[in-house]
Amino acid sequence: MKRILIIEDDKDIAAIERDYLAAFSYEVEIAADGTEGLRMGLENRFDLILLDLMLPGMDGFTVCRKLREHLDIPILMVTARREDIDKIRGLGLGADDYIDKPFSPGVLMARIRANLDQYDRLRGKRRPTSEIRLGEIRLNTDTHRVYVQDREVSLKNREYELLLFMMLHADTVFSREALYENIWGMDALGDSATVAVHINRLREKLEPDAARPRYIETVWGAGYRFCGQHCNSDGFLYNS
């Protein structure tokens, strides 16, 4: 049985979420403020966390950052604030997805299932080739470890899956929408800003100079591609 932690100060909303999730056989715990939610998240085992943004005691941004320092499970931010800057900030702090209030129970369940399924696939999937090496980036699919020039870099769940997908399809251009559909598994419900945030985070961790990327190119008007052979921007060569 999957265990979900709801961190929500609105008792009515928390009760609705709990009852709906329980009806689908999820085990649910509720924390009514940020401080309690952080404590429960760190002291107990959960498979996913639903995290409200506006919380007493400690706001959702801070809770997300502190949870992500210790946990590698899906964190879904839930909020009535629709500003893109809030979404970008939340995703930058380690949230895996974002749900706007008000939302239907069906949308909530679709997001939860997609994130849990993606996490399970990431943890359970094994490919015949245990290592992919393109240029100075080396990715091991058995250990889920990534190295740049033999220096290990730490990637979060979605960052790893996005990098793996792009390396497996090197030199192919993907739109933001196509990447969202393939990595997050939700087409109509997707928010392509999520992809841009994760691309930027990968560049910061992988690129010698994130402002002049060698590995993950932006193809203006089309999307992104991982350079398997070369990057036109500076002539840096890669062996595939």
User: 218 - beta bridge partners?
Assistant: 224
* Range 3-124 classified under CATH 3.40.50.2300: yes
pLDDT digits (tens, 9 = 90+) for 46-62: 999 999 988 998 998 89
Q: What is the CATH number of domain 131-226?
A: 1.10.10.10
CA angle 26, 58, 41 (to 5 degrees): 30
* Span between the terminal Cα atoms of the chain, in Å: 42
CA angle 19, 24, 29 (to 5 degrees): 50
Range in 122-131, 143-152, 193-202 with the lowest mean pLDDT: 122-131
CA angle 199, 202, 204 (to 5 degrees): 110
| All residues at 6 or more sequence positions from 103 whose CB lies less than 8 Å from its CB, including other chains | 78
Band the pLDDT of 147: cuts 50, 70, 90: very high
Q: What is the pLDDT of residue 240?
A: 28
User: Which amino acid, residue 134?
Assistant: L
Pairwise CA distance, residues 173 & 176, whole Å: 10
Residue 54 to residues 57, 101, 103, Cα–Cα distance (Å): 10, 12, 16
Pairwise CA distance, residues 85 & 53, whole Å: 13
Map residue 188 onto helix, strand or coil.
coil
Map residue 155 onto helix, strand or coil.
coil
Share of the chain above pLDDT 90, in %: 32
Burial of 150 (0-12, 13-18, 19+ CB in 10 A): exposed
Instruction: Spell out the domain ranges in the chain.
Output: 3-124, 131-226
The alpha carbon of 189 is separated from its chain's Cα centroid by a whole number of angstroms, namely: 15
pLDDT digits (tens, 9 = 90+) for 167-223: 888 888 888 888 887 787 654 455 668 899 999 999 999 998 888 898 999 998 889
CA-CA-CA-CA torsion for 159, 162, 167, 168, nearest 10 degrees? 140
Residue 42 has pLDDT above 80, yes or no: yes
